[in-house]
Structure 1
Amino acid sequence: MHPSPFIVFWELTRACMLACKHCRAKAIRKRHPKELTTEECFGVIEQLAEFNPKPLLIITGGDPLMREDIAEIIVYASQKGFRAAIAFSGTERATMGKLEELKDAGIARIAVSIDGSDEERHDSFRGVRGTFRMSMQAIENAKKVGIPFQINTTVTRDNIKDLPNIARLCIELEAIMWDVFFVVPTGRAKAEMMPTPQQFEDVLCWLYDLSRRTGLNIKSSAATHLRRIELMRDRGEMPVVSELYWWLLDRTDDLPEGKASQIVAGGHGRSLSTDGIRRSVGITDGRGMLFISHIGEIYPSGFLPLVAGNLRERSVAEIYSNSEIFVNLRDPDRLKGKCGVCEYRKICGGSRARAYAIFGDYLAEEPCCIYVPKTLRT
């Protein structure tokens, strides 16, 4: 399964001007002295180009705009035939001129984080005043320049009831996608920030309805349960929901109906993207996915802090193909607990990063899933 990675997340730097409460990277203000050089970055791109097909490249950080050579790196990737997207911080660096530079370099999409529907909520989460305003300006700049943009939202217990307002923003701003990330307790993020397992189920079921009714293209990150929910709902089987699900539905029943869409959860391998960036079936931590750190370390994902190797010492292909953790993660039958016997393990498999964060075992069952597999029902 997935002999080549479908998607590569590349942390070009951990430098960032923000102080986000959930930051995986524990970002700092200055660039690390051992960051990959420009020439080394070109070498990484050449290595990734050996995969067939080429993976989708997501450039992230920290804030990749903190690197002066960011456009050079994107140009090189574009010349090698990569589709590349970039996720940067909502700061004064995301100017109109910088976005024009990124577009000319060949970037296919940008991602802007919105974690609260107004300044007070968003700025409190991001740790710097003015971040909401600057993020919204970056979105307006992207629209003027003509770069497709998606909105990323981190779901915590604190902002669950603000999700309908953020969904409204996504629709009003005409985002090409809403990427809803369910917090993983790593880096600065704490376990108490996570929604409960029932809240996971409620929000994911609501996202299914929201996408189907409004046409909003929705992706869940670190919550692969949405793939299970998609298949269940498509065949008329309703998961177990609580009052939160109905509350969320009530808060979005006035949103305009869009073209009925098939949700991009991966359950059926469908894609709604209009900018050439697709998704595939069954992608999760280490399974069709890898993460490259600012100093060349290779991880199954940015939220699973187990180093499989360093590309300064071994090739990316050798690490992805042969390191023990990647070999284990590519085989869903190695999963433990209820994930190991779940009929959805090949398309879902749960968050391996969250399992490691809570249980100290990346093969343990997903701690935030309430579903009971058929083989365990009495």
Structure 2
Amino acid sequence: MSKNNTVKKLSVETDTTIYEIELGQIQIAITGRCNMDCQHCRAANEIGEDMPIEQIVKIIRFGKRYSQAYKEVVISGGEPFAHKEFESVIKEVRKNGVESLTITTNGTLVTEKHLQLFKELAFRKLTFSVSLDSLDPLAHNEFRRHKNAYDLAIQAVKMIQKEKADNWITSLRMTLKPSMIDEMDDMIQFAKSFGVERVGFSSIHPSGAAISRPDFWMTKAQKKQFLENIFVLRKKYPLPFRIETNDPLKCIVRSDDCTEESSDRDDSIKFGGCGAAAVTFNVCANGDMTPCALMDLPMMNVFNLSIDEMAENYRKNEIVKNMLKMNLKGKCGTCKIKYSCGGCRARALGINGDYLGEDPDCWLDN
């Protein structure tokens, strides 16, 4: 194993504790380019440029060095398939040891040539997460501001299912306006009719283009209904079909659903709902590392840094330290499940202007 690939502990020292971090999922927005203009786009303010391949490789090597399990890399955008050197990017990702890869896509640019390449590269696990926000073509097209968004997304799903290898997972990703909660069951039935194995549901966060669209945000009562519906639907459609959400407030509904160890040590801290900056991170196409893809809160710009310098900046970063210590405010700070939930830091930042503030969607009165 080369020096760059040697697994190390990423030690972060606060005023009270030394944390030894094992990084989990890392997300890389390989391009700011996109062929849509979605009403809720989280990346609406990003520059439409491609991330250089050598920077993508460096980020992956950083993640691999500090992850014992090297869990998962998520490739996003913009629209990742719009990267001018997309095929070379994917080849380098695989060459640098990534075995579990998720690609988020609107589906419009996926080709059979791409799928043949994925077969040749033989990832241990490959997930295609295709956006489909409504079963009404006009509603989906309007939301995505693209006249063929619906038809092309369905075409991509059919193509993936036709070419599918045994280790591929096809997932539909539905981003819900508050009025669409009752459509969740229909979306699952639609997914199952195509042989799709997974549906991911998300509410709209107050970030990017959606920061000026409060009509897109769920109220506390709607969020409670949305998350309770997740578990009702999981009971109705049991495993192996998967129904997922990344909303940390799911911990309030089912505490056993969201807690996972930040390492395999007996004295490890448990991070469940929100591990932003603590055990996960996102890198935007311009090189800004942020706690998650929904938070416009740069921790550093990685473009002019070596892997060692990235690690040193990570260790010293106050956002990382605050998230490890869960130095939260308001009711999130005093909540008994803050380590397994933590609330959504992106919502706290978007609504309260403070990433450590309380999650405005939380319906608890503690």
Contact in 2 for aligned 1:283/1:289 (Cα 8 Å): no
Confirm whether residue 132 of structure 1 aligns to residue 163 of structure 2: no
Could you tell me which runs of 5 or more consecutive residues in structure 1 were left unpaired when the two chains were aligned.
235-264, 270-279, 374-378
Give the TM-score, by structure 2 length: 0.83
Q: Aligned ranges for residues 19-38 of structure 1 at < 5 Å?
A: 19-26=37-44, 31-32=48-49, 35-38=50-53
Structure 2 match to 1:165: 186
Confirm whether residue 155 of structure 1 aligns to residue 176 of structure 2: yes
Instruction: Report which stretch shifted further, 56-65 or 75-84.
Output: 75-84
Amino acid at match of 2:117: E
Structure 2 match to 1:330: 324
Give the C-alpha shift of residue 41 in structure 1.
2.2
1:308 to 294, 299, 318: 299
Structure 2 match to 1:193: 216
Structure 2 match to 1:217: 242
Give the C-alpha shift of residue 175 in structure 1.
2.5
Contact in 2 for aligned 1:156/1:194 (Cα 8 Å): yes
Which has the larger share of strand?
2
2:360 to 343, 367, 377: 367
Q: Distance in 1 between matches of 2:253 and 2:278?
A: 20
Q: Distance in 2 between matches of 1:89 and 1:210?
A: 25
Contact in 2 for aligned 1:284/1:351 (Cα 8 Å): no
Structure 2 match to 1:275: none
Confirm whether residue 49 of structure 1 aligns to residue 49 of structure 2: no
Q: Deviations over 1:102-156 (max 9, x none)?
A: 3333451111011001211211111111111111111111111113211111122
Give the C-alpha shift of residue 267 in structure 1.
3.6
Q: RMSD in angstroms over aligned alpha carbons? A: 2.1
Contact in 1 for aligned 2:174/2:199 (Cα 8 Å): yes
Give the C-alpha shift of residue 268 in structure 1.
6.4
2:276 to 263, 276, 285: 285
Amino acid at match of 1:39: E
2:346 to 344, 353, 363: 353
1:8–1:172 distance in 2 versus 1, CA, 3 Å = same
Contact in 1 for aligned 2:53/2:89 (Cα 8 Å): yes
Give the TM-score, by structure 1 length: 0.80
1:305–1:319 distance in 2 versus 1, CA, 3 Å = same
SS of the aligned residue for 1:188 comes to helix
Contact in 1 for aligned 2:21/2:66 (Cα 8 Å): no
1:227 to 246, 251, 264: 251
Amino acid at match of 1:266: C
Q: Distance in 2 between matches of 1:117 and 1:203?
A: 18
Contact in 1 for aligned 2:23/2:67 (Cα 8 Å): no
1:266 to 258, 263, 267: 258
Q: Deviations over 1:71-102 (max 9, x none)?
A: 222222223322211112221x2122222223
Give the C-alpha shift of residue 336 in structure 1.
0.8
Q: Deviations over 1:344-375 (max 9, x none)?
A: 111111100000100001011100010233xx
Q: Distance in 1 between matches of 2:72 and 2:260?
A: 19
Q: Distance in 1 between matches of 2:22 and 2:274?
A: 11
Count the aligned residue pairs.
Answer: 325
Structure 2 match to 1:90: 107
